[in-house]
């Protein structure tokens, strides 16, 4: 089951996804994003060292590194 968050503003459910991306310089990074439906790349747990916050204007969830 994919990790999900319910928006406090809109009440919609969003699912966490990850994608491996290679940058122009050859560096490989992992991109995390939320989508409205669980698709390919959906992950089951929150990555270690990250927390979920919400954009106050749009209600979209965001991943932030813990301080």
pLDDT tens-digit map of 1-12: 899 999 999 899
Q: What is the pLDDT of residue 67?
A: 84
How far are the Cα atoms of 1, 13, 30, 47 from residue 37, in angstroms, in the given order?
12, 8, 20, 19
Q: What is the pLDDT of residue 5?
A: 96
pLDDT digits (tens, 9 = 90+) for 26-37: 999 999 999 999
Residue 17 to residue 27: CA distance in whole angstroms: 20
pLDDT digits (tens, 9 = 90+) for 26-67: 999 999 999 999 999 999 999 999 999 999 999 999 999 998
Give residue limits of the domains in the chain.
4-65
């Amino acid at each position: 089951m994919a990790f999900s968050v319910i928006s406090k503003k809109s009440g919609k459910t969003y699912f966490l996804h990850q994608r491996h991306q290679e940058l122009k310089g050859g560096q490989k990074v992992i991109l995390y994003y939320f989508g409205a439906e669980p698709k390919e790349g959906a992950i089951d747990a929150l990555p270690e060292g990250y927390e979920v916050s919400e954009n106050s204007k749009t209600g979209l969830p965001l991943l932030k590194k813990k301080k």
